[in-house]
Amino acid sequence: MSSSQAFNKPGSLRSRILRGLRLYTGKLRLFKPNARLYLLNTVISGVAYGIFRLLFNFYALSLGYDEALVGQLLTVSSLVALVGALPAGYVSDRIGRKPSLLLSNLTLTLSILGMVLWRSPTGFYMMNAVIGLAQSLMGVTMGPFLMENSDEEERTYLFSFNAGFQTTAGFAGNWLGGRLPTWLGTTIGVSATSSTAYGWAIAFISGISLLGILPLILLKRQRTPRQLDEVSLSPFQYARKNPRLLTKLASPMLITSLGAGLLMPFMNIFFRVAHAQSDATIGSLFAWGSLAMGIGLLISPPLADRWGKIQVVVVSQSLSIPFLILLGFTPLYWISATAYLARLALMNMSWPIYDAFVMEHAEPEARATVASLVSMSWNFGWAFSPTLSGWLQVHYGFNPVFLGTISTYILAIFLYWHFFLRESDAPKAREALSRD
């Protein structure tokens, strides 16, 4: 039998791929109109965020500020998001999902523009505080909105597709962001690394972000806002009622956030300092990273269907650790860049799976509350770690930053395994393995 015949016969790799694609596209056809509009917003916002994530640190440095201030700004936005998570969950329940999404997107757009108009440290602190509020409201609204606009059959795919769209759109954003200061600098006659070029680029981001509001305006409201006396449990009442469940759901996120806040906001600075790469090169790498992460997110739903959600979380995050070590400690740029791509895909492919897992374990009337509490755990680390990381970088470089991130990630993976796999889900995993 020839290789082409073997490839095309029933049960071959080709037939399995085609069957998998038919299954995947069938799930996508189940997406509701509101879900499709939200995905369009995700794409537009992903482009804007991809540019902003790449350029803001460089923008701050070009104004004469150092990494310590950058870390403090990240701490401000995350700390405000942490404090604002519970009120944001209440607001989301009170006014409804559509108004919450509109409010958060508009506020985020205006705060980005405010950083161009008010370039002092005070202005940066205030705008980052506003960003924290907007991100908090957006974050606690997303999960309940996706739950309310999906059924069990396509839910995991919707969560993953949303995250995949955002990161794949970030591919375009990072690629564009790496070149935008050069284009704008050439147009207005200034250096590509000047604060003026970066400032115009940040202003351009706010315009893209504003376009992302248009799909949200077209969303259909599915329920009337809850009246104050209809809210069944306050967040604190729910926490007292379900302490064991919330501890299991939130503590791995808390530990991971401590490590992520140390390193992730500074990856562009790391590649500039440790490997002497240009903005365009870093932008291209971030673009490919977004694409790699997007691919990982899109393939995770079939894996979760086959093996289970938490199994995918534990295995994918565990596999990312060796690449994180290579990323931080190899002297060769091409090895570090390759490890960066692999780590991004493996570590992040599980996040929407876990988000869906969390929402499935929350009662319908408590989803915004649970999202608020889990969001608080995620923002806790980001509220404090960037300031510590900025100080460590100034005094000791990136080595202790990587060691801290690696240690916290390993601990978080152990908690996922301990809470969800060690006893209750281990037989299911063994049964799935035996079938194959």
Digit-coded pLDDT (tens) for 320-345: 999 999 999 999 999 999 999 999 88
Mean of pLDDT values over 142-171: 82
Q: Where are the domains of the chain?
A: 23-218+232-435
Confidence of residue 382 (pLDDT cuts 50, 70, 90): confident
Q: pLDDT > 90: what percent of the chain? A: 23
Task: Tell the burial category of 315 from Cβ atoms under 10 Å away from its Cβ (0-12, 13-18, 19+).
Answer: middle
Contact 143/21 with Cβ under 8 angstroms?
no
For the stretch 189-245, pLDDT in tens is 888 788 888 888 888 888 888 999 999 999 987 654 444 344 445 556 666 777 787
Q: Give the class (CATH, top level) of 23-218+232-435.
A: mainly alpha
Query: 0.75 cut: is pTM over it?
Result: no
- Decide if pLDDT at 422 tops 60: yes
